[in-house]
Structure 1
Amino acid sequence: MSARAFEDLAAAPLAPSIQDSPHAEQALESGPLKRDLVAGLEKGLAVIEAFDQERPRLTISEVAVRTGLTRAAARRYLLTLAHLGFVTQERKMFALTPKVLRLGQSYMHSARLPRIVEPELHKLAYAMKEASSAGVLDGNDVICIAATSAGRVVSPTLQPGFRVPAYCAGTGRVMLAAMAPAESDAWIARQTLTALTPNTVTHPDRLRIEIARARQLGYAAVDQELELGLRTVAAPLKNYRGEVVAAMCISVHASRMSMDQMVENCLPPLMQAQAHLRMLL
């Protein structure tokens, strides 16, 4: 597929059956029809997502395996992305370019949620002199959408755009707790629970207990499950309808504060921030 063809696919208008139908709103709520989706755009984004921290450079064959594309199709998408400036090629290896950051910046600059949450994070961080962050659930992970360190570098994961496994993150626990028990059980069943530290909860039944505890208490306290030395207390962020749309946490180094001290000192201001944001979300 040529670069021009790729662009034409992405720019193709929606079919009249959805745009002009009097039942358009109902159709959108139930999900788009397959004929209204641009397969080329979907596959192009899948190629971008094939690259990660563990595999920053990939061959055509490796991209094909990771995306489920044929080798020929993977080659065409990589060449198209290279032509557009999103991918660079060195012999047989391909890698993403900094231009990919534009996609994330478009969200950060246009989305309402990070703009509303960020001032509250700054208040928390500088009042507590500890790092604070907010994230949203995306499949198996939590993506950080806003963060501030207050001068304390606690963890490299506390920065916008960083993804962490939801099962061992405080923000992930409270968002899983917002699900119905049957839904969170189904989510757990799909996971590979890997021990990232000696403290990581990896038994499904134990994880269910922790999620149920977060559901009952309204917050989650996680002690060095994501990485050694990192302790967090997290609370869900709800909109005015009571729906959980994100989560917020305060993170400290284990050498500075015990878990009991975290709950005692960090939880009250965290819950105050939660109540204030509910009026804005």
Structure 2
Amino acid sequence: MVESVSPSDAEEKSTRGQAEFVEALARGLAVLETFDEVHSEMSLTDVARRAGLRPATARRSLHTLEALGYVRHVNKRYVLAARVLTLGASYLRASHVDEALMPELRRLVAEFGDASSVAVLDGPNILYVAHCSEQRSSRPVAAIGATYPGYATSMGRLLLSRMPQEAIDMYLAQLKPVKLTEHTETDIGRLRQILSEVRQLGYSVVVDQLDYGVTALAVPIKDQSGRVVAAINSSGYSGKLTAERLVDERLAELQLSAARITQVFTRYPALLHSIRPAG
């Protein structure tokens, strides 16, 4: 039996959640997330600005993270320490990503070559949770933990299209798309139309939207109730692979992999819980 929640119960849970929210922990995580490929070394001022914190607050967070071994202070600049890797490694082990997702990605790459990935929505972006590739050509680094703007990717468009309409409207209202290539679609009206088409088709194809040379096809991964929780794609080099050929040759196998992963969730519920959209 599903427990009903009265308005007073919901209000109590919300109040308790606010009371138990640890701001210091949130600030520490925000500090860690300020580091990326462009900002690999930063001064205290840089960290504070990117995290949206006062310098004194950022200093306390950095001092704590340094004491715990997650950052290093070298020549008046801060860098991430290797111990940060343990955070991601803990997730991979606990959720059994290798056992649950990689077999299908390896199968697709063995069948078609190129690359295959699984991603979830992380705000307006997609977040890679699994990736397999034999590609050697120059392209954006697609690896576990990488994030890319949803509007410019096959998996992003697929996942965005499955959100409630009011959520799509809010996303598009706040979106400030950037031309990543000359082909990147940045017109909000056209993006709205694309998301509608993707929802109807049940798959998404992009060509040179994220970067030149990248053509990708994505389909949804669902839980046992039919709710979309992630996306899986197959991608290749645009110079050798048209969107039509990608769909003709790979759509059925990609859908098969998605269905098999749905069945795998029964053996790895922690993985499902970790990627299922909140709310």
Q: Which has the higher contact order (CA 8 A, sep 6+)?
A: 2
Aligned to 2:235: 251
Change (3 A) 1:126 1:211: same
RMSD of aligned Cα (Å): 2.1
Kept after mapping to 2: 8 A contact 1:144/1:161 = yes
Aligned to 1:152: 135
Seq. identity, %: 33
TM-aligned CA deviation for residue 108 of structure 1? 1.2
TM-aligned CA deviation for residue 182 of structure 1? 2.1
Provide the TM-score with structure 2 as the length reference: 0.86
Corresponding letter in the other structure for 1:152? Q
TM-aligned CA deviation for residue 144 of structure 1? 0.8
Corresponding letter in the other structure for 2:34? A
Q: Distance in 2 between matches of 1:39 and 1:181?
A: 32
Change (3 A) 1:31 1:111: farther
Instruction: Give 1:65's match in structure 2, choosing from 49, 53, 64.
Output: 49
Unaligned runs of 5+ in 1: 1-24
Change (3 A) 1:122 1:27: farther
Unaligned runs of 5+ in 2: 1-8, 266-279
Aligned to 1:236: 220
Q: Judge which range, 186-195 or 228-237, deviates more.
A: 186-195
TM-aligned CA deviation for residue 114 of structure 1? 5.7
Q: Distance in 2 between matches of 1:62 and 1:179?
A: 35
Change (3 A) 1:32 1:214: farther
Kept after mapping to 2: 8 A contact 1:134/1:144 = yes
Q: Distance in 1 between matches of 2:234 and 2:42?
A: 36
Residues 1:215 and 2:215 are matched in the alignment: no
Change (3 A) 1:104 1:235: same
Question: Residue 241 of structure 1: SS of its match in structure 2?
Answer: coil
Q: Distance in 1 between matches of 2:97 and 2:86?
A: 18
Kept after mapping to 2: 8 A contact 1:131/1:152 = yes
Corresponding letter in the other structure for 1:191? L
TM-aligned CA deviation for residue 191 of structure 1? 1.9
Instruction: Give 1:192's match in structure 2, choosing from 176, 184, 187.
Output: 176
Deviation per CA, 1:41-96, whole angstroms, max 9, x where unpaired? 11110111111222111111122222222211111111121121111112321111
Q: Distance in 2 between matches of 1:32 and 1:248?
A: 37
Residues 1:84 and 2:83 are matched in the alignment: no
Change (3 A) 1:270 1:208: same
Kept after mapping to 2: 8 A contact 1:131/1:153 = no
Q: Number of matched residues? A: 257
Aligned to 1:44: 28
TM-aligned CA deviation for residue 275 of structure 1? 2.2
Residues 1:167 and 2:151 are matched in the alignment: yes
Question: Residue 234 of structure 1: SS of its match in structure 2?
Answer: strand
Residues 1:179 and 2:163 are matched in the alignment: yes
Change (3 A) 1:264 1:134: same
Kept after mapping to 2: 8 A contact 1:229/1:254 = yes
Q: Distance in 1 between matches of 2:73 and 2:12?
A: 39
Deviation per CA, 1:246-281, whole angstroms, max 9, x where unpaired? 100000001221111111111111112122222333
Kept after mapping to 1: 8 A contact 2:34/2:50 = yes
Residues 1:111 and 2:95 are matched in the alignment: yes
Deviation per CA, 1:102-157, whole angstroms, max 9, x where unpaired? 111111111155642221111111111221111111012111111111x3235343
Aligned to 2:187: 203
Question: Residue 249 of structure 1: SS of its match in structure 2?
Answer: strand
Q: Distance in 2 between matches of 1:168 and 1:145?
A: 18
Change (3 A) 1:31 1:269: farther
Change (3 A) 1:29 1:157: farther
